[in-house]
Amino acid sequence: MKLRHLTFRLLEVYVSVVRHGSISEAARQLHLTQPTVSLQLKRLSEAVGEPLLEHTRGQLHLTDAGQVLYRACQDMLGRFDDLQDNLLELKGGHSGRFSIAMVNTAQYVMPRLLGPFSQDYPEVDVTVEIGNREQVLHRFHQQLDDIYIFSHPPSLEHAAAARFLRNPLIMIAAEEHPLAGADEISLPRLLEERFLLREPGSATRMLFDSWLQTRGLQLHRSLQMASNEAIRVGVAAGMGVAVVSQHVLPKGLTGIVPLQVEGMPLESHWHFIVRRDRRLPYAARRFLIHADDHLESCLDPAYVCHETRQLLAQLGIS
Amino acid sequence: MKLRHLTFRLLEVYVSVVRHGSISEAARQLHLTQPTVSLQLKRLSEAVGEPLLEHTRGQLHLTDAGQVLYRACQDMLGRFDDLQDNLLELKGGHSGRFSIAMVNTAQYVMPRLLGPFSQDYPEVDVTVEIGNREQVLHRFHQQLDDIYIFSHPPSLEHAAAARFLRNPLIMIAAEEHPLAGADEISLPRLLEERFLLREPGSATRMLFDSWLQTRGLQLHRSLQMASNEAIRVGVAAGMGVAVVSQHVLPKGLTGIVPLQVEGMPLESHWHFIVRRDRRLPYAARRFLIHADDHLESCLDPAYVCHETRQLLAQLGIS
DNA sequence: GTAATATATAGATAATTATCTATGGAGATT
DNA sequence: AATCTCCATAGATAATTATCTATATATTAC
């Protein structure tokens, strides 16, 4: 294989095709025509001297050589990104950029970490993507971001996770609700109420469903709502009860109270998740380090946990 | 800095200049003219947007940017070298992966080939799929695997086959069976017995059925069973006789004896089957070569046959 | 002061890369 | 069977890269 026949452009195009699983889709993303991308792949394959891709029933697959090349491309392109960051640092201070995707509820938590970080590193550009669980999972699979925030992380191939904050789930009702002042409400009694909850697949719902299942119970009366905000408004209006992350209740909120239910709050944790198979940009690493160093000062110290350094060590980052 | 303005050639030239400490010397080493190298450095510097080198009293020094770039160049060029090594390993079949699907009975045979191969090539990942004949055929049509093992290969479009081991089919009965000690049992006599057999479509049954048909005969009393294990247990219990692959009878098995029947054992062979219309991974090629080279040492030499090299030659692989 | 060596710039050319449009074949969908 | 989508190939063009020779300038050695 001739080094001079390999260009960074070819590597970029290749990585895009693999990531999108389609030559046509990669062409659209790169603003090239489909024959251009097809020809670039051909040139790359010729430079390597091996087939890189194969189509089986319309599905794009990497050959072994294609897999090996893909990893090498990611490493080289990632090293170029590092180089750029290093050069920017030389020019003046710390800069760079990274992207972070989080489930809806995390938007109540993450600004307390991102805010101080942006103050300490004003030149770093942070892109924040917020969505429901399914949307964030999709972004994870498409490798669109550098860091992912889940409260109940799925079991993901290529994922490395670190808990950083407890995320207790509590039961809430309106102040005037019959169960509002009761002690130790039993689960059978509770399940007589109507439950307001998010779409299937949301972490809170999944955790609550599985918790009920371990007790041989399940919900009878429920109403699905599209956002936590809608749930809060509905609970306050007496439409029912709900399990929510304690984070979504601002301090001083009136009209809503937590219920005393056996076995609650449910313990879950906020996690930082990164892909093992993808290079973590300098700025993202810096953020994770900064976050780990400032958990106590930015969040309630009783709720924090420090696994982020382990995560970075796992990735070979110190 | 524009990625596309950076080429591997520029990186090579730069590393050479730094290493030799002189543009003229690097030019000599690279078999280029001095103005060429000077211009390449200029283009690189322009691409980076920073001076990279400075001359102090005739001595070449790297600027900070030059230092940062030098390290990045070494990493990227080093990663290219690794890539080449990886590709060479793949081509030699020393690493990579392949998938092999086999009919149930083959699991008594194939470990004796796969085990030594995995010991000799620990870096190769082998996926083994086991199923009945229909399932393996389905996988063949879906192009899910690289190698298929059948004892009685179907006539398949796009298939190339090579026999590697005789697979004699014998008639068995319980030790106490009336025919157990008889010489040269006639077929009419034999067909008075109840036959335990697998589902329609299994190789053994197909072969036996077609063998009977060539003699103008057919089964009268039969009992279908779901596995060879169940057949063996049934035979030992005196439920009837059965045609089985000799392989499924472990040495030293008691309670079951082969019957002396005219025309038996039936000759069949284990086959390696690959798709002509699909590229065979290097690791799979390496396995077939290794298997062909080790048939005598891994299996009973009296039963092996060497057609695998012909198969590979047919596929244009030497 | 002169010669030798190293480096930068100018002008030029060949080779290569990157991209387009046009079009045909294959497979999937309707 | 017709249509749509995806991919590969052909032909073409623009842009860029890589290299040359010629030559000027600066520095060092003698």
Whether residue A222 is contained in a domain is answered as yes
| Residue finishing a domain among B36, B65, B91 | B91
Burial of A229 (0-12, 13-18, 19+ CB in 10 A): exposed
Spatial separation of the C-alpha atoms in residues B264 and B53, rounded to whole Å? 85
Q: Which nucleotide is nearest to B28 (CA to C1')?
A: C6
Residue B28 belongs to domain with CATH number: 1.10.10.10
Q: Which residue matches tokens 């693999």?
A: A18
pLDDT over 70 percentage in chain B: 100
Across the interface, whether the CB atoms of A7 and B12 are under 8 A apart is answered no
How many structural domains is chain A composed of? 3
pLDDT of B110-130, one tens digit each? Answer: 988 998 999 899 888 898 888
**CB proximity B7–strand C (7 Å threshold):** no
- The integer distance in angstroms from the CA atom of B33 to the C1' atom of D19 is 8
**CB proximity B35–strand C (7 Å threshold):** yes
A146 and A193 assigned to the same domain: no
**CB proximity A5–strand D (7 Å threshold):** no
pLDDT of A173-222, one tens digit each? Answer: 998 888 888 888 888 888 888 898 887 777 788 888 888 888 888 888 88
User: Domain limits at B181?
Assistant: 169-258
B144 and B285 assigned to the same domain: yes
Spatial separation of the C-alpha atoms in residues A274 and A270, rounded to whole Å? 13
Interface of A with B in 93-152 (CB under 8 A): none
Mean pLDDT of chain B: 88
- What backbone phi and psi angles, to 5 degrees, belong to B55? -105, 120
A41 falls in which pLDDT band (50, 70, 90)? very high
Whether residue B263 is contained in a domain is answered as no
Residue B121 belongs to domain with CATH number: 3.40.190.10
B216 falls in which pLDDT band (50, 70, 90)? confident
Whether residue A84 is contained in a domain is answered as no
Spatial separation of the C-alpha atoms in residues B153 and B271, rounded to whole Å? 7
Whether residue A48 is contained in a domain is answered as yes
- DSSP annotation of B280 reads P
ipTM of the complex: 0.75
**CB proximity A56–strand C (7 Å threshold):** no
B117 and B78 assigned to the same domain: no
The arithmetic mean of pLDDT across residues B166-177, rounded, is 90
Other C-beta atoms closer than 10 Å to the C-beta of A14 total 24
pLDDT of A254-307, one tens digit each? Answer: 788 899 988 888 888 999 999 887 778 888 998 999 999 999 988 888 889 999
Across the interface, whether the CB atoms of B90 and A50 are under 8 A apart is answered yes
A146 and A285 assigned to the same domain: yes
Closest CA to A63 of A48, A53, A72, A71: A53
Cis geometry, peptide bond prior to residue B265 (ω within 30 degrees of 0): yes
pLDDT for the residue numbered B69: 94
pLDDT for the residue numbered B318: 61
- The integer distance in angstroms from the CA atom of A277 to the C1' atom of D13 is 40
pLDDT of B221-279, one tens digit each? Answer: 888 887 888 888 889 888 889 998 887 777 777 788 999 988 888 888 999 999 887 88
Whether residue B21 is contained in a domain is answered as yes
